[in-house]
Amino acid sequence: MYYGQCACGAVTAEISGEPVAVRQCWCRECQQVAAGGPTNNAMFLTDGVRLSGELATHSYVAASGNTLTQSFCPACGTPVMAQSSARPQFRTIRLGFLERGHGLSPSMAIWTAEAPPWARIDTALERHEGQPPAPGAQPA
């Protein structure tokens, strides 16, 4: 079980099951959410994510062509999660929203083509210049 809480405590989460992927995203929209760096995210099955508290959202069509909805606490602004129209079976939870000691770290960096020139991407991470295959899918 994983637990999460925003900075002010108004939004909390209980998440059952292990993540299907843990990724670092360098797309431009994630850089904006993360103040210039990447977001670090764990993808969980939607059925395992139980959120409480009010969320604010912002939706847009991402470079992948899918509608991405970013969710955050309206009181303190803590980024909570994202969800893609192409993958409703997953919720992408921000690692910073999870309680300390969760033990998760990215194994993949995605949208690296959009990273700024000064970005330092761990060479141990699997890399994708754009949208990676869905978790569990075989690359084409």
Angstrom CA distances, 137 to 21, 30, 32, 84, 119, stand at 12, 23, 28, 16, 28
Residues linked to residue 38 through DSSP beta bridges, in sequence order = none
> Is the model's pTM score more than 0.85?
yes
Residue at 91 is within a domain: yes
pLDDT of residue 60: 93
Examine residue 63 and state whether it is found in any structural domain, yes or no.
yes
CA distance 58 to 68: 8
Q: Are the C-beta atoms of 84 and 68 separated by less than 8 Å?
A: yes
Domain count of the chain? 1
- Which pLDDT score is estimated for 136? 67
Q: Is there a domain that residue 138 lies in?
A: no
Domain presence at residue 96: yes
Please give the chain's pLDDT, 140 residues, in tens.
Answer: 999 999 999 999 999 999 999 999 999 999 999 999 999 999 999 999 999 999 999 999 988 888 999 999 999 999 999 999 999 999 999 999 999 999 999 999 999 999 999 999 999 999 999 988 878 654 44
d(CA 73, CA 76): 6
Residue 59 lies in a domain: yes
Look at residue 18 in the predicted model and tell me its pLDDT.
Answer: 95
38, part of any domain: yes
Residue 17 lies in a domain: yes
For residue 49, the enclosing domain spans 2-127
Give the model's pLDDT for residue 105.
96
Res 137: pLDDT? 53
Q: Is residue 6 part of a domain?
A: yes
- What pLDDT score does 65 carry? 87
Closest CA to 34 of 130, 114, 128: 114
Query: Which CATH number belongs to the domain containing residue 91 in this structure?
Result: 2.170.150.70
